[in-house]
Amino acid sequence: MTKEQIRNETTEIAKRVLKHGDFELTDEMTVGDIKGWDSLSHMVIISEVEKHFNIKLSFTDVLNFENMADLFNCVLSKLN
C-alpha cells in the first residue's frame, strides 16, 4: 500500500465520521484545519483507521502526530 492510498482511505474515513465531505486531507493539515474535528471525533477517526487498516496505534503514536503526514506515515510503517 502507498502513502497516497492511505491518505485517500483516511480521508474517506474522516468524511464519514465527520459527516461532511468538503475537504481532502493533505500532509500539512492539522485537526484544527478541519471543521468538526474535535477531540472526540479524533478518537473515533483513530479507532476507525485502526479497524480499516487492521493495525494498532499506540497512545504515544497518537500523541506524537503533529499533522496528517505523521498519521499517514505511522499507518504506512505499521503496514510494512
Q: Angle at the Cα of 42 (from 40 to 44), degrees rounded to 5?
A: 75
Range of the domain at 11: 3-79
Q: How many domains does the chain have?
A: 1
Q: pLDDT of 31-44, one tens digit each?
A: 999 999 999 999 99
CATH of the domain at 47: 1.10.1200.10
Alpha helices in 1-80 (DSSP H): 3-18, 39-53, 59-63, 68-79
pLDDT value at residue 22: 83
CB 54 within 8 A of CB 78: no
Task: Name the pTM for this structure.
Answer: 0.94
Q: pLDDT of 8-31, one tens digit each?
A: 999 999 999 999 988 999 999 999
% the chain with pLDDT above 90: 95
